[in-house]
Amino acid sequence: MRDSFEILLLPGDGIGPEVVGAAREVVDVAVDHFGIEVRYEERRIGGTAIREEGEPVSDETLHAASSSDSVLLGAVGHPDFDDAPVRPEAGLLKLRKHLGAFANLRPVAAIPALLGSSPLKREVVDGVDVLIVRELTGGAYFGEKEEGEERASDLSVYTREEIVRVARVAFEAAKRRKRRVTSVDKANVMATSRLWRKVVSEVAKEYPQVGLDHVLVDAAAMYLIQSPKRFDVMLTENLFGDILSDEAAMLPGSMGMLPSASLGEPGSSGIFEPVHGSAPDIAGEGKANPYATILSAAMMFRHSLGRPDVAEAIEQGVSVALEAHFLTPDLGGKKTTEEVTKAVSRWVAAGEGVA
């Protein structure tokens, strides 16, 4: 196992610097515990990059990303740019495209200590363990665009190759889980979805040990609330996955609990970031929930850096902190970002899951 890594930090906008700072603090404790060396480089992305560098992500930042072992990102977006010709989110899309990060993994699991925080009934949420695999580089987000006062369009395009590669990620993940893939589409009305369904069905033949079912996206949205435990791995195109994963964030009680990994071909730099947005309304107030970013760092060590031992230590630290009721306001608690970070760091350093 490697014991030296270079990590690019992209704090971004709003609460991004706070949660990335929290994750870095926990990572520093974890790598010290395991005798690992980590070197950081920090650069701008999103609104902060537009203000300071004139674009949402610079060529220098893209080069730094591809030269690093992994990227840990905070959040992008700010209302100051709502009507601007270039939005902060364009930086994230460009970064994903540059790194070839085509598969976004978003785990959604019920956390015993937070079952009371979910807006759904305890019996509906208890036991939920879903992995959403979202295609990241195709669809309407990247298609040719037309925007005018009387007409606008976003061209949605998918190729067989794009569908095959992300489908294989989903089926490989299912092999290590409950061996069930649910492919989400809108094949009753969309040509891209009909190709999606056809190609996913073909890929499924490579994995006879994994079951496959197809669900229309509107039905999938309903089932996520009505009976979320029916899902194991959900495979979706870009737009559908963006929407459904935000909906799924309410299962554990807060979007502040959901990490994500954006992965490309083996050997490429992955992007690890919380699912939540930049929340500029609470920036600097110590109310930001750092758990999702800390858990994203754990995913970074597992999926990109090849150190599952570090990942498990960080995840255990999070679990113990939650059981000890270190909860931020979005989870119904009163702990600050700093208090949560110190608690997780303390238990990671102990290495025993106890204070």
Which domains are present in the chain? 1-102+254-355 (3.40.718.10), 129-250 (3.40.50)
pLDDT value at 353 more than 60: no
> Which residue carries 């949205």 as its tokens?
221
Q: What is the residue-averaged pLDDT of the chain? A: 94
Q: What is the structure's pLDDT at 46?
A: 97
Express as a percent the part of the chain with pLDDT over 90: 86
| pLDDT tens-digit map of 294-352 | 999 999 999 999 999 999 999 999 999 999 999 999 998 999 999 999 999 999 998 75
Q: What is the structure's pLDDT at 354?
A: 40
What confidence category does residue 215 fall into, taking pLDDT thresholds of 50, 70 and 90? very high
| pLDDT tens-digit map of 156-214 | 999 999 999 999 999 999 999 999 999 999 999 999 999 999 999 999 999 999 999 99
- The stretch 44-60 carries a mean pLDDT of 97
- The stretch 260-286 carries a mean pLDDT of 93
Q: What is the structure's pLDDT at 115?
A: 84
Whether 186 is catalytic: yes
| pLDDT tens-digit map of 95-153 | 999 999 999 999 999 888 888 888 888 899 999 999 999 999 899 998 999 999 999 99
Q: What is the structure's pLDDT at 211?
A: 98
Catalytic one of 158, 185, 186, 330 = 186
Whether 13 is catalytic: no
Q: What is the structure's pLDDT at 92?
A: 94
DSSP states of 105-162 as a string? EEEEE--GGGGGGSSS-HHHHTT-EEEEEEE-SSSTTTS-EEE-SS-EEE-----HHH
Which of the residue ranges 114-128, 253-267, 282-296 has the most confident prediction, judged by mean pLDDT?
282-296
pLDDT value at 38 more than 70: yes
Taking the CA atoms of residue 198, residue 201, residue 203 and residue 205 in that order, the dihedral angle to the nearest 10 degrees is -140
Whether 246 is catalytic: yes
d(CA 17, CA 286): 11
Catalytic one of 69, 141, 158, 287 = 141
Q: What is the structure's pLDDT at 98?
A: 93
Please report, for residues 26, 116, 187, 229, 243, the alpha-carbon distance to residue 180 in angstroms, rounded to integers and kept in the order given: 34, 28, 20, 12, 21
Express as a percent the part of the chain with pLDDT over 70: 99
Q: What is the structure's pLDDT at 250?
A: 83
Catalytic one of 232, 242, 330, 342 = 242
